[in-house]
Amino acid sequence: MWAEAVDLIDRVQRLHQQAFAPSRASGGAPSWEPPADMLETEGELLVLVALPGVDLDQTEAFIDDGVLVVRGYRILPPELRIAKIHRLELPQGRFERRLPLPPGRYDSVRRSSGLCCKNREA
């Protein structure tokens, strides 16, 4: 039983590392992929992307051939220049997440802090 628990913890850690591992986005620059949730109601498709500390002005969201693309930059805080770093786990730099959308007609992308929404026509 203990071995199974340790194995499960190892698998979860590997999945976490893969989610934030640098990859090559369409522009060729190294990037990371933030985790996202997708929820559908009768009137809209809600996409929540985990971007703590990212300025909304440093992001963009658009639809490209049935795929929601959310991308931007996480900029290192200026305090980092003079800070003694004890831990630095949040990925920095360019990010991009491509999420295939469920079938339907989407008429707009609405962004807000911590939430990216797609309105869906009935």
pLDDT of res. 85: 87
pTM assigned to the model: 0.68
Please tell me the predicted confidence (pLDDT) of residue 122. 43
User: For 75-95, how does the pLDDT look when each residue is reduced to its tens digit (9 = 90+)?
Assistant: 888 888 888 889 888 888 999
Binned at pLDDT 50, 70 and 90, residue 109 comes out as: confident
CA torsion sign for 110, 112, 116, 117 is negative
CATH code: domain 2-120 is 2.60.40.790
- Cβ contact 33:51 at 8 Å: no
For residue 111, give the H/E element and its range.
strand 106-112
